[in-house]
Each structure stands twice: as C-alpha cells, then as structure tokens.
Amino acid sequence: MLIYSQQCNSLIQTACNRISRLAAFAELIKFIGTLAENNDTKLKQCVLYFIELACEYSFDEDIMKNFASQLSVLFEKYLGDEEMIIKVCAIKAVTAFLANIEDKVFLKNFAPILPILVKTLIQAVKTEEESGRATIESIIDLMEFHPKFVKPIAEDLISIFVDIIDAPSLGDGIISL
C-alpha cells in the first residue's frame, strides 16, 4: 500500500511547488530522475505515486510524448526493482501513463512493456493478496482504456485470471475483483 508519510507529503509538496515555478517540464523530469537515484523504498514509492498522479491529472499527452523516453527509463528501472511494493507502484504509474495516451500509433511504442506487466502480475499474485489486487486493478484499467493495445497479452491475462479463480490458496479478496 502506498505510504502517506510526512516524508512523502513533503516530497510531493516540493515537487508541486517546483511545477508552479518551472519554465519547462524538462526540469521537472530531471528532478524526478534525480529523486529516482535514491534507494529508499518510501522515496521510490513517492516518486512513482507522483508520476502516477501527474500522468492522470497534470501532464497532457504532448508532455508525456516529449518525455516518454525518460519516463520509460524510470518505469523499466522500477519494474525491475527487487521489492514487490515498488513493482506494484511502477505498474500503477505505467498504466496511468499508458491510459492517458490517446495516440494509438505512439502507444504501440510501448508494446514491449506488456510481457513485463504480465510477469509482474504473476509475481504480485504469488507474493501477497494486496499486491496482486492492485496489479490486477491497474491492468484491468489499462484494458478498459486500450483493449487493442493489450490484445497481445489477452490470452495470458485470461489464463492468469482463470488460475486465480481456480486456486484455493488465493483468498476470496482477489477473486471478488
């Protein structure tokens, strides 16, 4: 579950203050990249949470297109993190980013991330119910926004969902999605 600590709130407040003062989003992306260098789990969560919210509420599609390569580097880094909570937060940020891209041609550039999402989903479901639920919800959101984009992994997702339903060891919480 995402943290709502004083440190995270302070980080988000600092970032929001910088947004209002920045002449270009390039500085903001650079600032986010600098924060991403830190190995503190809570700070990683804050960075990903900020990216998720910025993609949903602040960045328009042109900004996301202009800084897609920098954000992709961050997404790949965090999807490969050792900690499951960071991977789950990364999936939420990635799906928020992808869900807010309307240009279908541009969206295709991100097709290589789909197998990573499936792999992370499997890991999350096996790790703990809350991580599995958050990951499934994010991927379902992405499916709702871009069903054709997600089509290449649809068979894998259906298989995973059937396995979840059939697995007695997975609590009813995930199944109730």
pLDDT tens, 83-106? Answer: 999 999 999 999 999 999 999 999
Q: Which domain holds residue 164?
A: 6-175
Domain for residue 22, yes or no? yes
Q: How many domains does the chain have?
A: 1
Give the integer Cα–Cα distance in Å for 119 and 167. Answer: 18
**CATH code of the domain covering residue 56:** 1.25.10
Rounded to two decimals, the pTM is 0.78
Q: 68: how many CB neighbours lie within 10 A of its CB?
A: 16
Domain for residue 30, yes or no? yes
Domain for residue 102, yes or no? yes
Given a cut of 50, whether residue 1 has pLDDT beyond it is: no
Tell me the pLDDT band of 175, cut-offs 50, 70 and 90.
very low
CB-CB contact of 132 with 125 (8 Å): yes
Total residues belonging to the chain: 177
